[in-house]
């Protein structure tokens, strides 16, 4: 096992939740402004990378909770499902559809198929980058 510095471990411990929260922010704002699934997936995989360098490969796998390759599969399924929604309504593939939900505290929330597509892209990017990074770290030991 590698020995990491106290500064790296402490910084990694605090950066993980902040980077994941920032990734969530980028994901949710992506269909209305710059951001989206791709950049959010990169930020989340950077958070996993920082945790990997600060702790260990096993720690990074515990943060993910699932095999990164499963994230790739689920992301592809979600992105495909977002595209198929338009076909079921007689419109072209990847046509956006919106649903407005009224929440008691937050007011109206608009949910749409672009968010579902962005979530799929997020999972694919997170799974791919995490698989590469974790495999490279395991090769090093």
Strands 107-112 and 98-103: antiparallel
18 SS3 class: helix
Distance CA 66, CA 49 (A): 16
Q: What is the pLDDT of residues 26-66, one digit of tens each?
A: 998 876 677 789 999 999 999 999 999 888 888 888 989 99
Residue whose C-alpha is closest to residue 96's, from 86, 84, 111: 86
pLDDT of residue 3: 59
* Assessment of whether the complete model's pTM goes beyond 0.85: yes
* 36-50, 67-81, 98-112: least confident range: 98-112
| DSSP-derived secondary structure letter, 87 | H
């Amino acid at each position: 096992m590698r020995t990491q510095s106290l500064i790296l471990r402490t910084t990694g411990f605090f950066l993980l939740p902040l980077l994941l929260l920032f990734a969530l922010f980028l994901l949710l704002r992506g269909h209305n402004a710059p951001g989206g699934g791709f950049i959010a997936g990169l930020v989340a995989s950077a958070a996993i990378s920082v945790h990997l360098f600060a702790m260990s490969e096993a720690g990074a796998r515990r943060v993910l909770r699932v095999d990164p390759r499963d994230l790739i599969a689920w992301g592809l399924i979600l992105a495909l499902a977002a595209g198929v929604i338009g076909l079921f309504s007689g419109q072209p593939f990847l046509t956006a559809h919106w649903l407005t939900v009224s929440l008691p505290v937050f007011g109206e929330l608009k949910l749409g198929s672009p968010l579902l597509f962005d979530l799929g892209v997020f999972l694919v990017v997170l799974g791919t980058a995490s698989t590469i990074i974790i495999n490279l770290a395991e090769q090093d030991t």
